Amino acid sequence: MSRLLQHLLHTPLSTRRAFPARVQEAIREAVATGEQNHRGEIRFVVEGDWPLAEVLGKKTLRERALEIFGLARVWDTRENTGLLIYVLLCEQRVEIVADRGLHAAAGTAAWERICADMAQAFRDGEFAAGSVAAVNAVSALLLQHFPAGTEGNPNELPDLPIILR
């Protein structure tokens, strides 16, 4: 199916079915639990579809994820350890944008593996399991490179996922 059709046929109801309150709460719990053990800050954003002008304008997933990274202020953390998991639901594609502190430590390949696993879970209809597994995988990497210290570990960004459109 063409990209344009994927966006045209997607409805807000499809987004609510894939990410109902119980799935959002499971993601929030996974983020909160992980952030107790590392100094990273995870934001999880789901966008059902894009306005047609953006699809026709050939906007890339990465470009949109970078926009959301800025709009959600994921970059605004004390240690540059913000991380965005961005889901474009109608295409069942995922992009991770890591702040410079995290990206330098973990590298692109690690994020790409997590995105691929999550996208496969979505194709299998496993939105809750795929989302929580991705948050847990990200948290495991963050724990490796940025474990929580004894100097305090404030929660700088909200843990509840953002659902757009």
3-class secondary-structure state, position 82: strand
Compute the 3-state secondary structure of the chain and give helix, strand, coil in percent, each to the nearest 5. Answer: 55, 15, 30
Alpha carbon distance 84, 87 (integer Å):
10
Q: Does residue 165 carry a pLDDT above 90?
A: no
Strand positions, DSSP E, 37-90 = 41-47, 82-88
The percent of residues above 70 in pLDDT, for the chain, comes to 99
Q: Does residue 149 carry a pLDDT above 80?
A: no
Q: Does residue 127 carry a pLDDT above 60?
A: yes
Confidence of residue 1 (pLDDT cuts 50, 70, 90): low
Q: Does residue 16 carry a pLDDT above 90?
A: yes
Confidence of residue 53 (pLDDT cuts 50, 70, 90): confident
What would the DSSP string read from start to end of 45-58? EEE----HHHHHTT
Chain-centre distance of CA 41, in angstroms?
Answer: 11
CATH T-level topology, domain 3-8+21-147+156-164:
Diaminopimelate Epimerase; Chain A, domain 1 (3.10.310)
Strand order in the sheet with 82-88: 93-98, 82-88, 41-47, 162-164
